[in-house]
């Protein structure tokens, strides 16, 4: 089940910190846009989240996407992306995401139909107070990926 969060979003901080480990960075978008969560049954705990924001000019951006490690690799990340794609199609023309150039995330987005675009050099060196390591790789640049919303 996928539902939009009404009210306090901080209770989902553990999931949000899986996608972005620096709390100050999460605070930048925590209360912007829409936060969606997925659960296995109505009323059950959230096992995944996706936060999307209106970036103007018909562009919707995924600011955060995470699935509890216990449930990763079971299609929940893809289900969240397909949900927002269906929900916002017609009101936006593009779904984009900025992420570390990491072997854990870029191939996932590519499998979900995104293609690589602009690169923001040194983003992780300039905006984070400590090195961010994923799968043994230090993140340096941010890569934007996008897919049409239709």
Does the protein bind ligand COA through residue 111 (CB under 6 A)? yes
- Shortest distance (Å) from residue 13 CB to ligand COA: 14
Q: How far apart are CA 71 and CA 62, in angstroms?
A: 20
Does the protein bind ligand COA through residue 99 (CB under 6 A)? yes
Q: How far apart are CA 38 and CA 18, in angstroms?
A: 15
Residue tagged 């690589």 (tokens):
116
Q: If phi over 0 gives left and psi between -120 and 50 gives alpha, with beta otherwise, what is residue 73?
A: left
* Residues that contact ligand COA, how many (by CB under 6 A): 18
Q: How far apart are CA 14 and CA 38, in angstroms?
A: 14
Does the protein bind ligand COA through residue 73 (CB under 6 A)? yes
Stretch that binds ligand COA, among 23-31, 88-96, 101-109, 140-148 (CB under 6 A): 101-109
Nearest to 123 by CA among 22, 17, 4: 22
Does the protein bind ligand COA through residue 142 (CB under 6 A)? no
Binder to ligand COA among 46, 66, 143, 149 (CB under 6 A)? 66
Interface pattern 11-50 for ligand COA (x via CB under 6 A): -------xx-------------------------------
Does the protein bind ligand COA through residue 136 (CB under 6 A)? no
Q: What angle do CA 20, 77, 128 make, to 5 degrees?
A: 10
Does the protein bind ligand COA through residue 107 (CB under 6 A)? yes
Strands 2-4 and 34-38: antiparallel
Stretch that binds ligand COA, among 52-60, 62-70, 88-96, 142-150 (CB under 6 A): 62-70
Does the protein bind ligand COA through residue 1 (CB under 6 A)? no
Cβ-contact 50, 81 below 8 angstroms: yes
């Amino acid at each position: 089940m996928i539902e939009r969060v009404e009210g306090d979003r901080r209770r989902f901080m553990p999931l949000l910190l899986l996608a972005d480990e620096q709390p100050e960075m999460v605070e930048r978008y925590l209360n912007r846009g829409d936060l969606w969560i997925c659960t296995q049954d109505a009323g059950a705990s959230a096992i995944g989240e996706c936060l999307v924001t209106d970036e103007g000019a018909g562009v919707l951006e995924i600011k955060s996407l995470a699935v509890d490690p216990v449930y990763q690799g079971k299609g929940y990340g893809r289900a969240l992306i397909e949900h927002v794609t269906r929900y916002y199609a017609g009101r936006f023309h593009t779904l984009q995401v900025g992420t570390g150039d990491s072997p854990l995330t870029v191939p996932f987005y590519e499998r979900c139909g995104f293609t690589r675009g602009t690169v923001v050099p040194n983003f992780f060196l300039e905006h984070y107070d400590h090195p961010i390591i994923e799968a043994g790789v230090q993140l340096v640049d941010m890569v934007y990926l996008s897919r049409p919303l239709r």
